[in-house]
Amino acid sequence: MSKNKSYNEGDKVEWDWGNGTASGEVIKVYTQKQTLKI
């Protein structure tokens, strides 16, 4: 995923992962820096 691209909720996304690719859907978009504890 590019830091220069704007993503919207519901967008389908794909990225390089190991020797292949992974995909998903944007569920939440943050417009300001967020610190999340997982």
User: What does pLDDT average to in each consecutive run of 10 residues of the chain (38 residues)?
Assistant: 78 96 95 90
- pLDDT given at position 1: 53
Structure tokens at 8: 């919207």
- pLDDT given at position 2: 53
- pLDDT given at position 5: 78
- pLDDT given at position 25: 98
CA dihedral 30, 32, 37, 38 (to 10 degrees): 30
State the amino acid at position 2 in one-letter form: S
Comparing C-alpha atoms, which of 32, 33, 25 is closest to residue 8? 25
Q: Contact, 29 vs 9, CB < 8 A?
A: yes
Give all strands (DSSP E) within 1-38, no chain letters: 12-17, 20-25
DSSP state of 5: S
